């Protein structure tokens, strides 16, 4: 039976802790946008930690994510948010850049896990036992928490980029390929944080 309740996300992790006492959840944000760095976060909770309302970041409002972000970082045993740059995305491709950001997030925790739960079906090069979990941000509390940290951190970064490059209105679309964003690229051309390989795909499909 598919787990859907919020309490089940923590139950999923509790079941894992029966064999792996220290579990780390990892997720990324920003693989799809046309601009900006890709972000990843790693989170480790103590076994008795429960945070009401934690869920896949995509299912939460921006306001709810912001509130949960503060609670997660205050209650996590360890957490780290890391990035891979636009230059790295262009050099090694977005998938490998996302995996690199995940690796950096785990290595930035300062403590080791017994198992790392990674959202999706690809795993980064981490010196730890890894389990990939399809749609893990809706199943595991640790992965969901990581998805929230990564998403909020990236959104904040894109709002900062909006101040630097106001003509692209990054605060509205966060770099994703919305019609507005595409129109502004067509009008002003790309800026230094645009992923040129992604823009080539748009032109090819356009």
Supply the CATH number for residue 31's domain: 3.30.420.10
**pLDDT for position 57:** 85
56 domain-assigned: yes
pTM: 0.93
44 domain-assigned: yes
**How far, in Å, CA of 197 to CA of 35, rounded?**
10
Burial profile 87-103: b = 16 or more Cβ within 10 angstroms, e = fewer: ebbeeeebebbbbbbbb
**pLDDT for position 1:** 30
205 domain-assigned: no
Burial (CB < 10 A; 0-12, 13-18, 19+), residue 26, is: buried
170 domain-assigned: no
Split the chain (206 residues) into runs of 10 and give each run's mean pLDDT: 60 96 98 98 95 88 94 98 98 98 98 97 95 95 97 98 98 96 96 96 64
pLDDT digits (tens, 9 = 90+) for 116-138: 999 999 999 999 999 999 999 99
- Residue 170 Ramachandran class (φ > 0 left, ψ -120 to 50 alpha, else beta): alpha
How many structural domains are present in the chain? Answer: 1
Phi, psi for 69 (deg, rounded to 5):
-55, -50
188 domain-assigned: no
Contacts (Cβ under 8 Å, ≥6 apart) of 160: none
**pLDDT for position 202:** 75
Structural domain span for residue 22:
6-157
């Amino acid at each position: 039976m598919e787990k859907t309740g919020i309490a089940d996300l923590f139950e999923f992790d509790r079941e894992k802790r029966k064999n792996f006492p220290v579990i780390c959840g990892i997720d990324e944000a920003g693989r799809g946008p046309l601009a900006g760095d890709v972000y990843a976060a790693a989170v480790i909770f103590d076994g008795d930690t429960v945070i009401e309302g934690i869920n896949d970041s995509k299912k939460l409002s921006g306001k709810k994510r912001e509130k949960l972000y503060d609670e997660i970082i205050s209650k996590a045993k360890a957490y780290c948010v890391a990035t891979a740059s636009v230059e790295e995305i262009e050099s090694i491709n977005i998938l490998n850049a996302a995996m690199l950001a995940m690796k950096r997030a785990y290595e930035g925790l300062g403590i080791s896990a017994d198992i790392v739960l990674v959202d999706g079906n690809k795993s980064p090069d981490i010196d730890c036992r890894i389990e990939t979990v399809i749609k893990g941000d809706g199943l595991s509390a640790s992965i969901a928490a990581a998805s929230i940290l990564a998403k909020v951190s990236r959104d904040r970064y894109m709002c900062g980029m909006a101040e630097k490059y106001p003509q692209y209105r990054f605060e509205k679309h966060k770099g994703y390929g919305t019609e507005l964003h595409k129109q502004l690229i067509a009008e002003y051309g790309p800026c230094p944080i645009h992923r040129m390989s992604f823009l080539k795909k748009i032109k090819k499909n356009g």
